[in-house]
Structure 1
Amino acid sequence: MITVENVSKSFPGNGTPVTALRDVSLAVDAGALYGVVGPAGAGKSTLARCVALQERPDRGVVRYDGLNTTRLDGRKLRDTRRQVAVVDTRLRDERTVAGNVALPLELGGVDGPQRRNRVGTLLDLIGLTQRAGDRPESLTPGQRRRVAVARALAAAPSVLLADDPTRGVDAEESGALLTVLDRARAELGTTVVLTTPDASVARRVCDDVALLERGTVVESGKLLDLLVKPGSRVAADLLPAVETSRAQTARYDLAVDVVLVGFAAVGALLPEAAYRFDVELATIGGGLTRIGDTPVARFRLGVRGQRADAALAWIAERGGHVTHTLYGLRHVAA
């Protein structure tokens, strides 16, 4: 487990220091895929370097399984750094794909048969076994990025850190790259920490996220939990937008926003409520998305019927998150 406790970091500026991180705290569970999301200049890369033990914080502590890394130096620091691999997108053009992946193993003195076996496993992981003998120059940007991930994983680190891994990669290749990071977590047990300015990257693969702005953690937690948290900035970025006109709302007794998480809730909760309570639940805004493999919906519902409140309470009792009540013209006239 990685624990970041009240970490602050500044750099020299023109006359005054530039603060990159302000009292940042977060916890990354072992085996998680953790996303740090935020705009350019938010401090994501600085936080990544502190987690990778490439920068020492001015204040605060980075712990690995409880070990205070700020007190380490010399051999102990080098040994701890070996647990963490950072994806370096610069490949050696004079080497083949397999040769690039093998480089850390060669430097580590791993023997030939063991090295070839490890390289084969990683090429399979990234889906580039057939390109083992090719030079990096013949690969697409996304394929090159996947080779960089495989090379970072070669020495079997416990933590993989990917700073903005999809930058400069098109949407289709980004999907393949994120799948590789997810497989590294699922199949190798590697804890993956990625930074990105694109919240949709976190939506596709992350278990947990932290939203960073101006060096401060604005919001953090389990991604699915944040989606149903009132006022969540992460939810606002990731859930489908809800736009309805006043005329649409006026046709119903009331209108509500509801967030549904999971196959059962998205597929059956609303029809079941309408049937049980003899009410109309009409979808007048919103839509569906996926968080990893989990379907998530945010709908604006037009509600009509005498037992509307009971139906909405029943939905809430079964995991639906009902908010933002708007009343139609019938309530206004009354």
Structure 2
Amino acid sequence: MITVENLSKTFPGKSSPVVALRDVSLDIDAGSLFGVVGPAASGKSTLARCLALQERPDRGVVRLDGVNTAALEGRRLREVRRQLAVVDPRTPLHAERTVAGNVAAPLERLGVAGPQRRSRVGTLLDLVGLTARATQQPTELTPGQRRRVEVARALAAAPAVLLADDPTGGVSPEEAGAVLTVLDRARAELGVTVVLATRDPGVVRRVCDGVAVLEQGTLVESGTVLGLLTDPGSAAARALLPAIDTPAAQVAGYDRVVDVVLVGFAAVGALLPEAATRFGVEVATIGGGLTRIGDTPVARFRLGLRGERADGAVAWVVEQGGRVTHQVRGPQAVVAA
């Protein structure tokens, strides 16, 4: 487990210090794929560097499996750092080496014997789907393929934690999915804890178990992705779920208008039609949309309901696990609790 306690970090500025992190505290479970999401200058890259022990915080502690990394020095610090690997697009591949040679470079520095080194390189190239590219030069690869080689290189020394700063930056949308799949495979097949920093909510939607939302160096919230999304007022829900924009004229004719978050195949596919049938009301989707969190479908809809039992239908949806925010519209409208 990674535990961050009251982490603060500032950098010198032209007229005054720039605060990158303000008292950030969070927990990251071992073996998870955890996303740190926020806009530019939110502090996510600084947090990633602090977790990788590349930056020392001004205050606060980073604990790795209970070990206070701030107290480490010398040999013990080097040993812990070897358990941490970083995928950073700003660290390019060696142009003069082949793909396999780039992945082997960290193993060569550690003095790993040739047969063992070749076996490890082969395993990692298979993991990232580039076995057929082993003898090519980095210049012969697409940006997405180069990023996957960077992931394989970072995994060469079998780290316990992999930190990826903007892993899909500079990669086309078509290739970004392959990069994220590789990070997910590293977690699933190698047992590596993966922490990725990104400004793209789509990255978190696709692969992350947990998420921390940063704004201007401050932790807005953190937790499991699905747990946060069931709170319609959460920052994660605002960032990750489909936006709702419904003209006032479109909702005027309904007895009740509500926003609802539904999680899972059964809820998304069957809950609303069953509510309509059970209570004899019309249920229309007038805004929002459907997305996926990993393999789980999640919907945020604006619903318009017509019928005398509209309130009962809404209450039943809540009983079945839907998270509903009531809107003050229509003759039956009341303010939600």
Say yes or no: TM over 0.5.
Answer: yes
> How many residues align structurally?
332
Q: Which residue of 2 aligns with 1:265?
A: 267
Q: CA-to-partner distance for each residue in 1:97-127, whole Å, 9 max, x for gaps? A: 0111111111112222221111111111111
Which moved further from structure 2: 35-44 or 135-144? 35-44
1:60 aligns with 2:60: yes
Q: Which residue, out of 291, 316, 319, partners 1:314?
A: 316
Please give the secondary structure, in 2, of the residue aligned with 1:327. Answer: coil
Q: Which residue of 2 aligns with 1:72?
A: 72
Distance in structure 1 (CA, Å) of the matches to 2:228 and 2:307:
31
Distance in structure 2 (CA, Å) of the matches to 1:41 and 1:8:
14
> Is there any run of 5+ residues in structure 1 with no aligned partner, and where?
none
Q: Which residue of 1 aligns with 2:151?
A: 149
Using structure 1 for the length normalisation, give the TM-score: 0.96
Distance in structure 2 (CA, Å) of the matches to 1:287 and 1:18:
39
CA contact (8 A) 1:240 1:287 kept: yes
> Is there any run of 5+ residues in structure 2 with no aligned partner, and where?
none
Q: One-letter code of the match for 1:141? A: P
CA contact (8 A) 1:88 1:152 kept: no
Q: Which residue, out of 323, 326, 337, partners 1:324?
A: 326
Aligned ranges for residues 1-334 of structure 1 at < 5 Å? 1-89=1-89, 90-328=92-330
Q: CA-to-partner distance for each residue in 1:82-111, whole Å, 9 max, x for gaps? A: 110011441011111011111111111222
Q: CA-to-partner distance for each residue in 1:39-82, whole Å, 9 max, x for gaps? A: 11111121111100111111110000111110000001000111
1:15 CA drift (Å) = 4.7
Distance in structure 1 (CA, Å) of the matches to 2:333 and 2:139:
67
Please give the secondary structure, in 1, of the residue aligned with 2:244. Answer: coil
CA contact (8 A) 1:105 1:154 kept: yes
RMSD (CA atoms): 1.4
CA contact (8 A) 2:88 2:165 kept: no
Q: One-letter code of the match for 1:311? A: A
1:196 CA drift (Å) = 0.8
1:151 CA drift (Å) = 0.4
CA contact (8 A) 2:32 2:193 kept: yes
CA contact (8 A) 2:25 2:219 kept: yes
Q: One-letter code of the match for 2:143? A: P
Seq. identity, % = 73
Using structure 2 for the length normalisation, give the TM-score: 0.95
Q: One-letter code of the match for 1:98? A: A
1:330 CA drift (Å) = 7.1
1:17 CA drift (Å) = 2.1
1:329 CA drift (Å) = 5.2
Please give the secondary structure, in 1, of the residue aligned with 2:41. Answer: coil
Please give the secondary structure, in 2, of the residue aligned with 1:26. Answer: strand
